[in-house]
Amino acid sequence: MNKSPEVPQPSKELLQRAADVRIASIALGQTTDGQRRTALNSMADALNAWSKEIVSANLEDLDRAADEGLARALLSRLKLDENKLMEAIDGMRKVALLSDPLGIRQMNRELDKDLILERRTVPLGVLGVIFEARPDAVMQIAALAIRSGNGAILKGGSEASNTNKTIMKALKEGLSDSEVNPHSLALLTTRQESLALLRLDGLVDLIIPRGSNELVRFIQDNTRIPVLGHADGICHLYVDSAADLAQALRIAIDSKTQYPAACNAIETLLLHKDIASSFLNSAIPLFEQAGVALLGDEMSCTFGIKDVAKEEDWATEYLDLKLSVRVVSGLETALEHIRRYGSRHTEAIVTSDEKVAERFLSAVDSSGVYHNCSTRFADGFRYGFGAEVGISTQTLPPRGPVGLEGLVTYRYFLRGRGHVVSDFASGKSKFSHQDRPL
Amino acid sequence: MNKSPEVPQPSKELLQRAADVRIASIALGQTTDGQRRTALNSMADALNAWSKEIVSANLEDLDRAADEGLARALLSRLKLDENKLMEAIDGMRKVALLSDPLGIRQMNRELDKDLILERRTVPLGVLGVIFEARPDAVMQIAALAIRSGNGAILKGGSEASNTNKTIMKALKEGLSDSEVNPHSLALLTTRQESLALLRLDGLVDLIIPRGSNELVRFIQDNTRIPVLGHADGICHLYVDSAADLAQALRIAIDSKTQYPAACNAIETLLLHKDIASSFLNSAIPLFEQAGVALLGDEMSCTFGIKDVAKEEDWATEYLDLKLSVRVVSGLETALEHIRRYGSRHTEAIVTSDEKVAERFLSAVDSSGVYHNCSTRFADGFRYGFGAEVGISTQTLPPRGPVGLEGLVTYRYFLRGRGHVVSDFASGKSKFSHQDRPL
């Protein structure tokens, strides 16, 4: 990688810490389901025992951040009071209850008599997680990592450093009462270290950035390690001519306003020309009431939208109460628009025409394609995964909301009785390739 | 990505060609199993019809390459005579017969009444394939790409340019007789274009390099697009104290000599101290007979190996009749050696002790871990995949030998009846998360 000059070489100390996590993670990968469950409950117990220290460390961070003039939204994310902490502890116990993603047999094939190929899920190894502000992320990520048998090197925002350090102390204390080596988790505290983390290929198997687009892009551009995540979330809702108008309105309002700062909120509404006028007639006052600013193309402006959308609007993730609206001549134009401006996150169609719906669902290559429902369902909890590390808009798996299953890989196990390839090359032996029950 | 200055921005023409492939690939992704099978057979027919032209184009390339003094090994890889062509055509018809990797339902879950989440396999989109010399790769990759519903942009070595162009003409003629758009395949011919391919993120979903370590590393360092493949293949064989000696010898010889230039051949032999002397007693003459040069650590040199292995030998992929040998005090030292020098490709143990074997198989985190058989089995055909694009030593899937299944991803389909998230947030609706039969 032709890394930025600003990405330093890892220090000897960092290399040693990462190697410690790696070695601990190999032992962790061999623990049983029950041992990992116990480890999570033990971490939860320790957090509970340390709750006063954690809350007061957080108050220190909050005081300092307020002095330094941190924005109010960030202060609220930084805050970890008794309630939020108890919720996080509860979340950790819930992750303990999720079913084990490890050891799942995906293949069981006889290649020849007594030569058996198995493929089973195993942990990735070590996760590198870089996140901003929210200290509850430390607990959530630690829970997901240990549950899936992975070590984790975490780097949180400096605003939360007292909180994070205290949480990590408690987590390690919890692990030391379990069969899982406390070295399975490490917290980095300096910016230099978090940058050097990007160079730990061979020691870190997956980088998970949780933060702004800029953070994700910077990381993608500066590491050889695979990066899980998404930069943009530009989601579209297409209202077809055969849409049930009331349904389309409900879905449009929910997709935009239920939580506009989420990546699965829509940024663009595409309207079939035959329904645009009547839809906007009802929609404009509803959006106005919800505080949503509408930006329209020429045609939708003739139907009452006042502000004109510029070219760059179609490619912008507002993350705000703002929505671009375009009238299209039909499905194909809508598909072309999505292909051009979409970020392959989640797109939805509202229509009563099953054929049109199926064409949309098969032609749009986003990680989620929806029919007659809100894009806001694109979420690990709503999908029933119990917990998520984030949403990936990459093409290769894991994509979409990523839960425990996305934190594992697989390994091929081949067991023989002295089998060699030369016997197959000479024709003495022949492959049977018989699948056996999983 | 802070790309090398030598990686140029894609030209307008290249962007247009890549966009054509992308659009064709979206239609290709919606074809049926039968349509894709027919397309492969139609390409095979066309190759057959064009066989004279292809062989004579290859003769031109061979003449020019000989004039330019290309090494003999490369000339032999460049050569595509009638026989080799017929084999390639036959291979294409075999890929047509492989079962469809697309449309496989991996999840079918009710989130709420009439709100159904499905996950099905879909194509990746567009593959970018960069390979050296061998013109048969064009046919093999075209077959795998079309069978799995993916478009492909190919760049072959300039030595084979006449052959590749003629093959591509035939393939496109074949496709034009099928339901698959001939624009699904494109051949790049200049070095500038192949470098600019690395910058086509958004248009190309996966880069598959087939060539030297240096090629793979250069590509990994210069693209934001995921890269499938492996740089090094440093495979180990560990002979335990409880090994059956005759079996261990057979496996060691096969793992090293059956095809030493393959990435799944062993580069290092680790011997338990209690068996090292008797093993080497028999092995040294056998390896000598097979023309294998042995390099040993201090201890194995006392058992008769003449040349001393240097530190860098443990980290070298010889791809040749050369083998490093180290005597270890036991399993844990062997595991540590593999952790330090291995490339997570394939490692094997020979032992009659099931406990030791299981410890090895669970502690080594390579993509393949073998017990009592040769590392040379690490291969898509031997695993029963029918065809492979290569072997990946990455941690994330697809890893190990990658066949059709590794060229697909998945997409979440959510179908509702006007469902919105606000109803779940307010408590009016509740998630059922009921899995239904697949």
> Which residues in chain A have Cβ-Cβ distances shorter than 8 Å to B255?
420
Element spanning A402, H or E: strand A400-402
pLDDT at site A4: 55
DSSP structure string for A176-209: HTSSS-GGGEEEE-SHHHHHHGGG-BTTB-EEEE
- Among residues A269, A262, A266, the alpha carbon closest in space to that of A375 is found at A266
Check CB contact under 8 Å for B373 and A30. Answer: no
For B187, residues 6+ apart whose C-beta sits below 8 A from its C-beta are B138, B153, B154, B155, B156, B164, B165, B168
Contact residues, chain A, for B369 at CB < 8 Å: 411-414
In 3-state terms, what secondary structure has residue B202? coil
- Residue with more model confidence, A74 or A57: A57
Q: Is residue B109 part of a domain?
A: yes
Closest partner CB to B258 (pick from A382, A395, A422): A422
Q: In angstroms, rounded to a whole number, what is the distance separating the alpha carbons of residues A282 and A279?
A: 6
Of B251, B365, B409, which is closest to A395 when you measure between CB atoms?
B409
C-alpha A276: how far from its chain's center? 35
Q: Give me the sign of the Cα torsion angle A400, A405, A407, A411.
A: negative
| Residue B158 · residue B191 · CB < 8 Å | yes
- CB-nearest partner of A377 from B30, B206, B421: B421
Contact A226 B374 (CB under 8 A): no
Q: Is residue A61 part of a domain?
A: yes
Which residues touch B428 (CB under 8 Å, ≥6 apart)? Answer: none
The reply to whether residue A362 touches residue B30, judged by beta carbons under 8 angstroms, is yes
Does B366 contact A411 at a Cβ distance shorter than 8 Å?
A: yes
Predicted confidence (pLDDT) at residue A222 exceeds the cutoff of 90: no
Q: Which H helix or E strand runs over B17?
A: helix B12-28
Of B312, B385, B390, B378, the residue nearest B347 (C-alpha): B378
CA atoms of A226 and B395, how far apart (whole Å): 9
Final residue of a domain: which of B377, B396, B422? B377
Nearest-Cα distance to chain B for A352, in Å, is 10
The percent of residues in chain B predicted with pLDDT above 70, rounded, is 98
Burial of B20 (0-12, 13-18, 19+ CB in 10 A): middle
- State how many domains chain B has: 2
Residue of B349, B339, B340 lying closest to B269 (CA atoms): B349
Selection from A162, A172, A145 nearest residue A402 by Cα? A145
Give chain B's radius of gyration (CA, Å).
25
* Residue A320, Cβ density class (10 Å: 0-12 exposed, 13-18 middle, ≥19 buried): middle
CATH of the domain at B75: 3.40.605.10
| B interface test, pick of A118, A121, A346, A420 with most B CB neighbours within 10 Å | A420
Q: Is residue B2 part of a domain?
A: no
* B393 in a structural domain: no
Instruction: Please indicate, yes or no, if residue A5 is contained in any of the structural domains.
Output: no
Domain-embedded: residue B7: no
Residues B214 and B249 in one domain: no
DSSP string spanning B336-378?
Answer: HHHHHH--SSEEEEE-S-HHHHHHHHHH--SSEEEEEE-GGG-
> In angstroms, what separates the C-alpha of A62 from chain B's closest C-alpha?
29
Residue of A nearest to B415 (CA): A371
Across the A:B interface, residue pairs with CB atoms under 8 Å apart total 238
Q: Is residue A262 part of a domain?
A: yes
- The predicted structure's pLDDT at residue A2: 42
Same domain, B255 and B216: no
Which pair of structure tokens corresponds to residue B193? 């274009």
Give A422 to chain B, closest Cα distance, Å. Answer: 6
**Binary contact (A394, B339; C-beta < 8 A):** no
Contact predicate B324/B269, CB 8 Å: yes
Residue type at B65 in one-letter notation: A
* Cβ-based contacts of B383 with chain A (< 8 Å): 109, 111, 117, 412
Q: Quick one: closest CA in B to A415, which residue? A: B371
Test the A interface: residue of B338, B419, B429, B432 with most A CBs within 10 Å: B419
Q: Pinpoint the alpha helices (H) of A224-372.
A: 245-257, 273-289, 298-302, 331-341, 354-363
> B198, B221, B244 — which closes off a domain?
B221
pLDDT of A286 over the 60 cut: yes
Angle at B396 (CA atoms; ends B394, B402), nearest 5 degrees: 70
Give chain B positions within 8 Å (CB) of A418: 244, 246-247, 250-251, 372-373
Q: Chain B contacts of A365, Cβ < 8 Å? A: 26, 29, 122, 125, 411
User: Are A305 and A214 found together in one domain?
Assistant: no
B329 is in which domain, residue-wise? 235-377
Same domain for A177 and A256? no
Question: Are residue A203 and residue A343 in the same domain, yes or no?
Answer: no
Residue type, A341: Y
Which residue, among A365, A369, A405, A426, would best test binding to B if mutated, counting the most B CBs under 10 Å from its CB? A365
In this prediction, the answer to ipTM > 0.85 reads yes
* Distance from the A70 Cα atom to the nearest Cα atom in chain B, whole angstroms: 30
Torsion of CA B211, B214, B220, B223, to 10 degrees: -90
For B414, the closest of A206, A220, A377 (CB atoms) is: A377
pLDDT digits (tens, 9 = 90+) for B8-55: 889 999 999 999 999 999 999 999 999 999 999 999 999 999 999 999
A326-335 tens-digit pLDDT: 999 999 999 9
Task: Give the pLDDT of residue A3.
Answer: 45
Give the nearest chain A residue to B417 (CA atoms).
Answer: A372
Cβ atoms of residues B435 and B106 within 8 Å: no
CB contact (8 A) between residue B111 and residue A226: no
CB nearest A258 (choices: B370, B417, B422): B422
- b (16+ CB within 10 A) / e for B78-109: bbbeeeebeebbebbeebbebebbbeeeebbb
Separation of first and last alpha carbons in chain A = 41
Mean pLDDT within A125-137? 88
pTM of the model: 0.92
The answer to whether the CB atoms of B409 and A396 lie below 8 A apart is: yes
Element (H, E) at B31: none
Distance CA A363, CA B26 (A): 6
CA distance A418 to B393: 25
For residue A232, is pLDDT > 50? yes
**Rounded distance between C-alpha atoms, residue B92 and residue B147, angstroms:** 10
- Cβ contacts of A205 on chain B, cutoff 8 Å: 395-396
Q: Which tokens in the block code for residue A373?
A: 């429902």
Q: Alpha carbon of B126 to those of B43, B120, B144, B178, B183: distances in Å?
A: 19, 18, 12, 19, 11
Q: What is the mean pLDDT of residues A384-405?
A: 91
DSSP 8-class letter at A431: -
SS3 percent helix, strand, coil of chain B, rounded to 5, is 45, 20, 35
The answer to whether the CB of A106 falls within 8 A of the CB of A121 is yes
**Weakly modelled stretches of chain B, pLDDT under 70:** 1-5, 133, 231
A203 shares its domain with A96: yes
State how far the Cα of B425 lies from the Cα of B12, in Å rounded to an integer: 48
Cβ–Cβ below 8 Å for A397 and B416: no
Question: How many residues appear in chain A?
Answer: 438
**Which contacts (CB < 8 Å, 24+ apart) does range A287-293 have?**
A287/A253, A287/A256, A287/A323, A290/A253, A290/A256, A290/A257, A290/A321, A291/A257, A291/A321, A292/A256, A292/A257, A292/A321, A292/A322, A292/A323, A293/A321, A293/A322, A293/A323
In this predicted structure, the answer to whether residue A5 has a pLDDT above a threshold of 70 is no
Q: Which of A224, A28, A393 is nearest to B393 (CA)?
A: A224
Supply the angle between the helices A136-147 and A161-176 in degrees, to the nearest 10: 30
Mean pLDDT of A293-315: 97
Q: Could B396 and A382 be called an inter-chain contact, meaning their C-beta atoms sit closer than 8 Å?
A: no
Residue A68 has what pLDDT?
A: 92
Instruction: Choose the mutation target among B111, B373, B422 for the interface with A, i.e. most A CBs under 10 Å.
Output: B373
Helix, strand, coil in percent for chain A, rounding step 5 = 45, 20, 35
Q: Are residues A256 and A319 in the same domain?
A: yes
* Residues above pLDDT 90, as percent of chain B: 82
Taking residue B66's Cβ as centre, other Cβ atoms within 10 Å add up to 12
Largest distance between two CA atoms of chain B? 79
Model pLDDT, residue A231: 63
What is the widest separation between alpha-carbon atoms in chain A? 79
For residue B364, being part of any structural domain is answered with yes
* C-beta atoms of B368 and A224 within 8 A: no
Backbone angles phi, psi at B60, to 5 degrees: -60, -50
Counts for chain B of helices (H) and strands (E), in that order: 15, 17
Yes or no, beta carbons of B122 and A413 under 8 Å apart: no
Beta strands in A102-234 (DSSP E): 105-112, 115-123, 126-131, 151-155, 185-188, 206-210
| Amino acid at site B92 | M
| Edge-to-edge strand list for the sheet holding A105-112 | A434-435, A105-112, A115-123, A408-419, B368-373, B346-350, B235-239, B266-272, B322-328, B293-296, B307-308
**If pLDDT is split at 50, 70 and 90, which confidence band does A1 have?**
very low
Same domain, B20 and B78: yes
CA dihedral B220, A2, B396, A343 (to 10 degrees): -90
Per residue in A10-53, pLDDT tens?
Answer: 999 999 999 999 999 999 999 999 999 999 999 999 999 999 99
Q: What is the CATH number of the domain that holds A367?
A: 3.40.309.10
Each residue's pLDDT tens digit, A367-390: 999 999 999 999 999 999 988 888
Mark whether A106 and A189 lie in a shared domain.
yes
The DSSP 8-state label assigned to residue A309 in this structure reads P
Among B377, B400, B415, give the residue marking a domain's end: B377
User: Do residue B134 and residue B266 come from a single domain?
Assistant: no
Indicate the helix (H) or strand (E) that contains A410: strand A408-419
* Joined tokens for residue A119: 């493929």
Residues in chain B within 8 Å Cβ distance of A2:
1-4, 221-222
Torsion, CA A415, CA A416, CA A417, CA A420, rounded to 10: -140
Question: Are B207 and B302 in the same domain?
Answer: no
**Residues A65-90, mean pLDDT to the nearest whole number:** 92
Which among A255, A259, A414 is the nearest to B370, CB-wise? A414
Average pLDDT, chain A: 94
Buried b (16+ CB within 10 A) or exposed e, B185-216: bbbbeeeebbbbbbbbeebbbbbbbbbebebb
Q: Are residues A159 and A290 in the same domain?
A: no
DSSP H or E stretch at residue A417: strand A408-419
The whole-number pLDDT of residue A131 equals 85
Instruction: State the Cα–Cα distance between residues B89 and B48, nearest whole angstrom.
Output: 7
